[in-house]
Structure 1
Amino acid sequence: MMKKTMKQYSFASQLKSLVVVFGIALTFASCAKEDVAQNPTNKEGDNDKNLTTFVAGDEAKTRTSLDYNSSDFSWEAGDYIYVKDDEGVMRKSTNAPTQKVASFRYRVPGKFGASASYKVYYLGKNSNGSQVTISANQTQTAPDNTEHFGTAGDYGIATATGAAGGSIFSFQLEHQPAYLVFQPYTSNTILQSCYLTKVEVSSDNDIAETYTVNTSTGALTGSAGSKQIVLTTSGSSSNPNGFPLTNSAASVTTNGAYMVIKPGTHTLRVRYWVKDVANNVEGTITKTLPATAYASNTYYDMTANLNVRNYDGDKYYMWDAQQNYWSGHEWNKATPWQPVLNGNSNSNYAQNNGDPRYYNEAFSYGADNKATHSPCKDLPNVNEMTWYAAMGEPRWDGDELWTTMGHLYKGGMWFKKKANISGFNPNTAEDGTDWRTNGNGRSWSVSQTLPDVADAGNYFYLPALGSYYSGQLRNVGNGGYYWSSSANPWLSYLAYSLFFTSGNVNVTSNGSRNGGFRAEALQ
C-alpha cells in the first residue's frame, strides 16, 4: 500500500511594527488521500439488494478529523456520504458513524449496477446533498481538536471502484479545502495569564465559500464567498475563557486551533483575540502574512510568537521642552514621579522656565515660530499634520493591544504613510493655505473599518497614549495627543497638535504648551 506524503508548512513570526514575516519551515508525513482495501470482506447486511456498500477505512483511517501528532484520521459521528447513482441522482447513505471510528461501511440506496465506478462526495455535516459551505464562522471547543471540521466546511470527493453489477465498492476520499493550524505562544508574562478567545483571518480574496455540486459533471462550483473567517475558541463548557497562552514555545496540545479555508493564493491578516479575564480587557494581536499558495488537502502550521508593542513612558513632553515631562523620575526609575494609571497625578511637574522640562516660551510671528529643541523640532509641522488628518484616511482600531508603563491597553488610529498621501506638502495645508501663519484648526471624522489586507502596508499606527495635564495622566486608551513642531502664530502659550479619539481627528492651534503630549516622529 502506498501513502502520499502531504507537506505541512510552518510560519515563524516576529512582530515588527505590526508587519509580520512568516517563514515556511516544517514538513510532516500525513495522508493526502485515504487508501482503502479494494476487496473488503462482506459483513452482515451487505447483501441487501436495495443497498450498496461503500467502504472507507479498515487500514488507512479515513479522514474527517485529524490526530495531529500521529497523522491518523477518523470518521466522526454523523458523517454521511453522497453517491451519484446510475440515474444521476445524488443518494445519501442511510447510515453514519455514531462515534469516532477509523473505518466505516456505508450503505447507500439507489441503482449501482451499470458501472464499476461511482462518484462519492463527503459534504460535511450541514449539507443538503447539493451544496457545501466553508463557513465564515467556525467554532472549536478544545485545543488540538478537529471534530468541528464537518460543520466548518470540510468536504471531499472520490471515485469508488468495484465490479460492475457488484454490491461493494471502495474509495479513496480526497479532501478539497486547505487547513490552517494556529499555534500561538508567548514569553510575555502579561499575555501568559490571558486566553485565546478567537482567531480572525481576513484575506485579499475569498477564503470562505459555498459550493454547488453539478451532478452531471461532478464539479463543485463556488459562489457566495467571504474574505473573512472567525474561529471561536471560547464559550464551551470545557474552555469557557478560551485556550490558554501559558506556553513559551509552539504547542498544539496547549492551544492548537484549526481553521478550514478555501484553497488558493491568499494574503492573510491574522488577528489573535486575547483576553485578560482578571481585568476584562480583550483585544487583538495582528500578524500579516505575505501572499502564499494554500493547496487543497494540505495542513499549514501557523506558529506565531505573540507579543504586543510596548510604548515608552519617556516621550511625553511639554511643547519644545529640553527634557521629557518626568525626566530623571520616569515610572521605571529608582525615584519615580510619573503616574502610570489614568487619573493618577504627581505635583512634581515643571512649573517655570528654570526647569529644563518646561515648555519653550520663545515666540515670533509667522512660519518661523517653530520648535528649536529635539525631539520637538524634528516633528511634522502643522501643514503636514493636516495632510495626515484629512487625506491619510484615519481609521480607528479599538481592539489592537499594546502596553505602556507596565499596563495593557488598546485603542489607536491607523493613518496612511506620508509616501502614500497624494499631494502631501509641508509648505501648505490640505486646504491650500499655510496654517503656520493663520492660526487655523479643524476636525475630521474617521472610519471604523480597518485598512484592507492588501493595503495594510500603506498605513502606520498611532496608539491612544493620552497626555499629562498638571501632573495628571488622562485618557490613555481613549485619546491620542501628538505635538507638531509649529507654535500658534498669535499666542505665545499655545502650539499646534494632532488630537484624536474614536470618532474624529483634530488639528488645532489651541494646545497649551504646558501639556504633556507625545513627541513622536510620524511615518
Structure 2
Amino acid sequence: MIMKKIFLITTIASTIFAVGCSNNNEVGQEDFHIQENKNTISFVGGIDNNQTATRTSITHTIGNGAIAYWSSGDKIWVKDNSGVFHQSSAGVLNTTKAKGLFNMPNGMYSNGCQVNYVGGSSDGTKVTIAANQSQTVANDFSHAGVSGDCGTAIATGSGSSFVFTLQHKAAYLCLMPRSTNAAFMACKLTGIKIISNNAIAGVYDFSSGNLSTAPISSTSNTISLTTNNFSIPNIETQSFASYVVIAPGVHTLTIQYQLLDPNIGQAGTVTKYVSSTFVAGNIYDIKSNFDTNTIGREYYLWDAKYDTWFGHTADQPYKNDTYDTNGINNYPVSSSDIRWYNPTTSMSARAQNSSKDCPTTNEITWYAKFGDPHWDANELWAWNGMGTVQKGGMWIKKKAYISGFTASIGATGVDYNSNPVLQASFSTPAIQGRPSSSDINKYFFLPAEGRYRFFRDGKTGIMKDVGVTGTYFPSTNTPVVPSAPDGTYALHFTKDFLALSNGGTKKDAIMNWKAQ
C-alpha cells in the first residue's frame, strides 16, 4: 500500500501592487483497494476510528511537499456497472491515519469503475466549495474536507478486489502574512476575505470526476475564512499559515487580511493582489509582507532642513489631540530653530530641502481636479517605529493616467507656480472604496496622516486628524496671500473630497510626498 502524498508545491509571492509565480506541480495521489468478497475499499491514509467525524485534512510543508490524511467519518462514492454512484460506509482507519477500509454495501463493480471523494456532500456527483470557511489553529488544514476538498480515481481490478489512485481536484491556498513593524505585529488576524473576478466557490458538478467550469448553484466570487486571532510573525514562516480551498481556474484575487489591534480596538484590512492560473490539485504559497503599508514618521514644516521632532523623537505624539507634554520647548516656533520652514519670500521659488521632491502647485491642481479620488476607509497603515496601526487614506490617479497632465500650467489654465490666484481653491468629490483590482495599478495611495498644528486648541504641536484628513505641501513657494508668506496652497483631502486647498500654513508639520 502506498501512502497518499502531496508532492511538490507551487509558490506565489505577492506585494500591495505586484505578484510573482513559480512552476505548478501536482498536489497529490492516494491509493485505495476494493477487497475481494466483502465489497470493501481499502485506503492508505486515515485516522483512529473512534475520533470525531470530520473530513480530509492536509499537512503541508513548504518546499518539501505535503501529506493528505483521511479523518474519521470520511466516505467515498463508487460508480457501479449500471452507472449509479453508491456511498461507502465510514472508513475504518488506523491510529496513524495511514490506512483505512471502506465497505461498499451496494452495487457491482468492474475494472475501470469511477471513485469520487466529495467531502461532506450527500451526492457523489456534486462538490460544495464553501464560501465560508473556518480555521481555529494556525498552520492547520484539517478543515480541507469540510471546505471543499475533493478527488477522483479510476479503479482497476476484477471481482471484488480493486486498486486505484485518487487525485485531488480542488485548488488550495497557503496564506502567510508577516511584518517587522511592531504596530502590525501587535495585531491579530481575525479573518481573510478573498474576492475573485469570477466564481471560486459554490456547488459544482463532479459527475465526470472534474469540477464543472462554473458552479451549478450557490455561485460565489468571494470566500471568507474565519481565523482565531492568529499572530503576525516578523519573519517569513509557515507556523502562522492560513489555508483556503478554492475552485481551480484563472483568477484575479483580491486578498483582504482582516486585522484587529486589541490594545486600542482598531480594526481594518491589509490588501494584496494575486493573479494566476490555479491548477486542480495544487497548493499555492502566498507570502504577504505588511511592511509595504509602513510609512516614515517624519513630519516637516514646509521645506525645513530637519523634521519637526528631530532630537525629540521620544516625545513625538502619535494619537489625535495629544501633544508633547513639554509644550513649545519641543516644537519649532521661530526662525532660529533648525527645524523652521524655508523663509524664502520669492514668489514661485522652488523648495531646496525636505520639500524639493514634492509636486508643484500646478501638479497638485491636476490631481485635485482629475485625480478620480477614491476614499479607502479600511486600509491599515503604520508609521515606522512609532505607535499603533492607523487606517484611512485616498487613492489618487497617477499622472501617467491623467490626460494633459503637465507641470507648466495648472488644470484650470492658470500657472499657479508663478501667479497664484488669490483665495482660489477647488475640490473633486471622492468615490467611496478603493479602485477595482484591474485598475489599482493606475493609482497611488496617500494615508490620512493628519498633521501637527502650529497652534490649535490652545496647544502648540498638537496632533490632529490622523485617519480623518490628509494634507501635503507643494514644492513651490505659492503663498495664497503674498502679504502672509507663511500661508500656502496644499493638497488636502477628507473622506468626501480631494482639493487644492488655500488654507495651509507652513508652520504646520506635514509629511512629504512625491508625484506618481
Residue 342 of structure 1 pairs with residue 320 of structure 2 = yes
Deviation by residue 1:67-92 (Cα, 9 ceiling, x = unmatched): 33594432224433333344434444
SS of alignment partner, residue 439 of structure 2: helix
Matched-pair contact (CA < 8 Å) for 1:93–1:106: yes
* Residue aligning to 1:296: 280
SS of alignment partner, residue 385 of structure 1: helix
Residue 421 of structure 1 pairs with residue 409 of structure 2 = no
SS of alignment partner, residue 364 of structure 2: helix
* Residue aligning to 2:266: 281
SS of alignment partner, residue 173 of structure 1: strand
SS of alignment partner, residue 441 of structure 2: helix
Residue 33 of structure 1 pairs with residue 33 of structure 2 = no
Per-residue deviation, 1:64? 2.4
CA gap 1:418/1:105 in 2 versus in 1, 3 angstroms: same
Q: Residue type of the partner of 2:495?
A: S
Matched-pair contact (CA < 8 Å) for 1:361–1:492: no
Structure 2-normalised TM-score? 0.80
* Residue aligning to 1:211: 204
Distance 2:341 2:498 in 1: 24
Q: Residue type of the partner of 1:243?
A: F
Matched-pair contact (CA < 8 Å) for 2:308–2:509: no
Per-residue deviation, 1:296? 1.7
1:138 to 116, 119, 133: 133
Q: Residue type of the partner of 1:231?
A: L
SS of alignment partner, residue 152 of structure 2: strand
CA gap 1:25/1:306 in 2 versus in 1, 3 angstroms: farther
Unaligned runs of 5+ in 1: 47-51, 235-241
Per-residue deviation, 1:274? 3.4
Q: Residue type of the partner of 1:443?
A: S
Matched-pair contact (CA < 8 Å) for 2:186–2:261: yes
Per-residue deviation, 1:258? 1.4
* Residue aligning to 1:443: 427
Distance 2:20 2:354 in 1: 34
Q: Residue type of the partner of 2:243?
A: Y
Residue 506 of structure 1 pairs with residue 491 of structure 2 = no
Distance 1:12 1:121 in 2: 33
Per-residue deviation, 1:203? 4.4
SS of alignment partner, residue 150 of structure 1: helix
CA gap 1:496/1:188 in 2 versus in 1, 3 angstroms: closer
Distance 1:432 1:107 in 2: 82
Taking every aligned residue pair, what percent have the same amino acid on both sides? 32
Q: Residue type of the partner of 1:232?
A: T
Q: Residue type of the partner of 1:481?
A: T
**Number of aligned residues:** 483
Per-residue deviation, 1:474? 0.9
Q: Residue type of the partner of 1:426?
A: A
Matched-pair contact (CA < 8 Å) for 2:261–2:389: no
Per-residue deviation, 1:140? 0.8
* Residue aligning to 2:245: 260
The residue correspondences of 1:69-108 to structure 2 (distance < 5 A) are 71-93=66-88, 95=90, 101-108=97-104
Per-residue deviation, 1:66? 1.6
1:461 to 426, 429, 445: 445
Matched-pair contact (CA < 8 Å) for 1:441–1:506: yes
Matched-pair contact (CA < 8 Å) for 1:325–1:350: no
Matched-pair contact (CA < 8 Å) for 1:195–1:276: yes
SS of alignment partner, residue 383 of structure 1: helix
Unaligned runs of 5+ in 2: 48-54, 456-460
Distance 1:464 1:99 in 2: 58
Matched-pair contact (CA < 8 Å) for 1:35–1:57: yes
Per-residue deviation, 1:403? 2.0
* Residue aligning to 1:171: 164
* Residue aligning to 1:326: 308
Per-residue deviation, 1:8? 1.0
* Residue aligning to 2:155: 160
Matched-pair contact (CA < 8 Å) for 2:200–2:247: yes
Distance 1:219 1:309 in 2: 40
Distance 1:467 1:486 in 2: 19
SS of alignment partner, residue 151 of structure 1: helix
Matched-pair contact (CA < 8 Å) for 1:266–1:292: yes
* Residue aligning to 2:175: 182
CA gap 1:223/1:432 in 2 versus in 1, 3 angstroms: farther
Per-residue deviation, 1:128? 4.5
Per-residue deviation, 1:376? 3.1
Matched-pair contact (CA < 8 Å) for 1:362–1:492: no
SS of alignment partner, residue 389 of structure 1: helix
Q: Residue type of the partner of 1:299?
A: I
1:477 to 448, 467, 474: 467
Residue 487 of structure 1 pairs with residue 478 of structure 2 = yes
Per-residue deviation, 1:157? 1.8
Per-residue deviation, 1:466? 0.8
* Residue aligning to 1:67: 59
Distance 1:102 1:316 in 2: 64
Residue 391 of structure 1 pairs with residue 370 of structure 2 = yes
Residue 121 of structure 1 pairs with residue 116 of structure 2 = yes
Per-residue deviation, 1:299? 2.1
CA gap 1:283/1:401 in 2 versus in 1, 3 angstroms: farther
Deviation by residue 1:294-332 (Cα, 9 ceiling, x = unmatched): 322122333445535443333321x3x443462643415
Structure 1-normalised TM-score? 0.79
SS of alignment partner, residue 165 of structure 2: coil
Distance 1:444 1:267 in 2: 30
* Residue aligning to 1:402: 382
